[in-house]
Amino acid sequence: MRAGHSRSALTACGLVLGLTLAACSTSEPPGAGPRPSSTPLPSPTRALVAWSTTACTTVKPLDELRRDSAGKDTEDLTGSSATSYIMRATTTLQGQAQSLRAVPRTGVKAADAYIAGLVKTLSDLHARLPNTMDTMASPDKEKIAKARQVAKTVATLKPQMPGLTAVVKGEPRLVASYNVTPDCEPVRTASRPAAAAPTRALVVWSETMCTYAGLAQKSPVGGEGGGAREGDPPFADQFRALELMSFIRDSGSRLDKAADEIDALAPTGVADADRYRSRLLSSIRAAAKKLPDYDNAELGRLSLGGLEAEAEKVAGTLAKVEPKGDDLPDMVARQPRLAAAYNLAPACEPLGPGSPSPAGTGGP
């Protein structure tokens, strides 16, 4: 090869190598995600947070049912387990469809179309399932065969969470609200939140506080008591006894769950809010220690009057939880940044007119 040709070949190779290295050096590392965009997201809205809550809490059990249905054709089923599975599939498909039908239209085309499409899918699947009452009366062999057929029907349902997140990512208005919704895992986006938009942490804080701050108000104790009265439905005393037993027995676990979730909250940076959380957590833990440890057998031996008396004691303990749930809106209303997040949280009753909007500014 002549020298001129050699130099040309080397130059070309060097150019190709340089371009290759440059391309490699400017590519994003794996998992780097979308590049930041200068376009901010819209402000989140209460309506779209509510939409996101229903969507996320609906698709999760659907995906769980779909996963649990895999392999039913080879699983060693019994008549009892087959019936249980069929009932679960039926109630899940029917129940989630009903929840979705109750979602108000948002005016966001992608959101409304997603809900309508999923309702139709679930309704069509539910229509293909066997009647649960007929199944319960069937021989075990037939129950097992029906369960396997139900599993094949459920398997035709596509994984729902990927579809939901794809819909959300395609609409900035959905992204803004979805990413602050406590029941949803945020999606990655190139756009930054709107200026002064409520943070996910403050919405989660508000949702948790509104769920647990009013524990004392969620008591079945009160009213006239004293057993069934004229005009009461049949078995009123039995239903009342079951209600009281459940309240007495479960109050301790409710307090423990509340304490765990409140304890898991990160500091908000809002001094009044962090003090409120600390006081509520300490008060709930103190109340939990004062509750007797009841069991079903012990409660079952009590008369209705005895259950009423025990429930009164439990309600009295819960009533001492401080700060009171009624104190929460007043405290929040003094903090514009927190108030905007509070007004988004599904468990919170929105503050009155004049309270900060999600796009409001100010606050500590």
Report domain extents, the chain.
Answer: 46-178, 200-223+233-342
Q: Which residues pair with 37 in a beta bridge?
A: 191
pLDDT at 71 over 50: yes
Give the pLDDT band of residue 140 (cuts 50, 70, 90). very high
Two tokens, residue 50? 């509510």
CA distance 41 to 190: 9
Residue 172 CA, distance from chain mean position? 21
Q: Select the more confidently predicted residue: 24 or 50.
A: 50
Decide: 346 and 53 in contact? Cβ < 8 Å.
yes
Q: What is the pLDDT of residue 13?
A: 40
pLDDT at 293 over 50: yes
Mean pLDDT, residues 300-329 taken together: 87
> pTM of the predicted model, to two decimals?
0.76
